[in-house]
Amino acid sequence: MENSDRKLLIIGGSAGSLSVILDLLKNLEEPLALAMVIVVHRKASTSNILPTLLQQFSPVDILEIDDKMELQDNKIYVAPADFHLLFEDGNSMALDRSEKFNYSRPSIDVTFRSAAEIFRENLTGVLLSGANADGVEGLMFIKRYGGKVWIQDPGTAEVDFMPRVAVENVDYDLILSPKDLAKRINEL
């Protein structure tokens, strides 16, 4: 696969991650010198209100991903409920309805792995609060391909299982508190 020069940051989270994401959005500085993707576990029946809710807190445009949507810098993309998010190349995203992975669709692992193969050292993966291990294996792929791995400090997580398993099993670059997340992203 071709390596993309585009910088990409993917945030994965589950139970307890929404408050961290909202705080992050309030403190982002525009323009972002990268594209940002948010993958959070949601019920399949969930309406697509999440991007509208997030937009109220963000200076950057937030879009729910459609199949074959083009990836652009200075935009935040939200994976839709009940679809896996894949990257076809450095410019385009695809949606997939294959079986759940780690009991989840969208699966953070599936998205992290797909992105790692294309964005390599230009990828930063962030794993937040959550109640299962989805995302841990994907962080290992990001690291293997030269990307950066950031994990929420389990002591600050509403549900610490996901970040705790990641800290215990992944060669990470940063353990960060929610208040440090926006600052670090603004520095990228």
CA distance 93 to 111: 10
Closest listed residue to residue 150, CA positions, set 173, 128, 133, 117 = 173
- Is 14 considered catalytic here? yes
Q: Which of 4, 17, 41, 160 is catalytic?
A: 41
Q: Which of 4, 14, 17, 129 is catalytic?
A: 14
Take residue 30 and report the two structure tokens written for it.
């525009």
For 115, counting Cβ atoms within 10 Å of its Cβ (0-12 exposed, 13-18 middle, 19+ buried), the class is buried
| Pairing mode, strands 35-40 and 75-78 | parallel
Sign of CA dihedral 131, 51, 137, 43: positive
- Is 41 considered catalytic here? yes
Catalytic residues: 14, 41, 134
